[in-house]
Amino acid sequence: MQPAIAARLLGRQVSARIAPVYGAAQLLRALPAPPKTRAGLRMRPSGSDRSGKTMTDPRLFQLDKFEEESYFTPKTWGFWRGVIMYFFIFSLVGHWMEIPYCALMDALFGIVEPDYAAFVDPLHVPYWVYGAGTVVLTLVLLPLKISIVRRCKTLWGAALGFLVAAVAIAAVLETVIGLIINQPDAFGEYPYWDNSQLAGNILGQGWIVNDIGLGLVSLFYVWVVFPFCQKIFLSISPKAANRFFFIVLAVVALACVSWYVPQVFAALGLQGGVVLS
């Protein structure tokens, strides 16, 4: 065979072998680059969550085991934005939730006075203890939930284990705090609450009914509210999430001004800035 013909045949064989490889390389080069990561969270496309679900996808409103283990990311602004925002939101929502709870407890056990603060305070009055409670739940019980989820085979088993732990923690805290600040006076009157005559009381301070209620609320917040809200905020742009954050701060600030300023004026004997005679 002549050298020129042999060279052409060899070139064709090499081209036939290289062409598929070159085509695959061109295809890979045309694919979009994988999303970058930041502080342990995979960045998602705008308008979708980390799994790529868009806001119109019904799966966005579902939480799987992976997501129940996620969202505790204290090195990110998104995490602390949520902690701050939920503190203010649930300072108001906690007030609203206490009204039906107290009404139920009064209907079942007759233990709530008609002039109890939750019944008479305006709805825009924040109850800061509930906001502080959400911070504790996020920083303490959220990591506990993640640990339980990773050890259990099913989410139902993990949720039951978490509920038992949350009720136990609530019982211990209510009892210990009560023994410290809620001791009866010489006439047997308790300064803040009196569970001593209720069935199921713990050392006259804690009450298992309250503790079960607190455990259920903790379960709902840590397993549903916090991860779901964080998932939603990850599905929108950071600018939109920050805008909503500042709107929440403004609304709560307005509620505080409308409640606390008149209280200060009343305490100082003022009305509209004029000293009352």
For residues 2 and 18, give the distance between their C-alpha atoms in angstroms, rounded to a whole number: 25
Domains of the chain, residue spans: 65-253
Average per-residue pLDDT for the chain: 81
| Cβ–Cβ under 8 Å, residues 49 and 235 | yes
Q: What's the pLDDT tens digit per position in 194-224?
A: 888 889 999 999 999 999 999 999 999 999 9
| Cβ–Cβ under 8 Å, residues 59 and 231 | no
DSSP states along 164-191: HHHHHHHHHHHHHHHHHH----TTS--S
Residues 6 or more apart whose Cβ sits within 8 Å of residue 244: 85, 233
H or E element in which residue 251 lies: helix 238-267
Residue recorded with tokens 């800035």: 273
> What does the pLDDT read at residue 13?
57
Sign for the CA dihedral angle at 43, 45, 47, 48 comes to negative
Q: What's the pLDDT tens digit per position in 46-95?
A: 344 444 555 445 455 566 667 777 789 999 999 999 999 999 999 999 99
For residues 277 and 275, give the distance between their C-alpha atoms in angstroms, rounded to a whole number: 6
> What does the pLDDT read at residue 189?
87
pLDDT (mean) for 148-166: 93
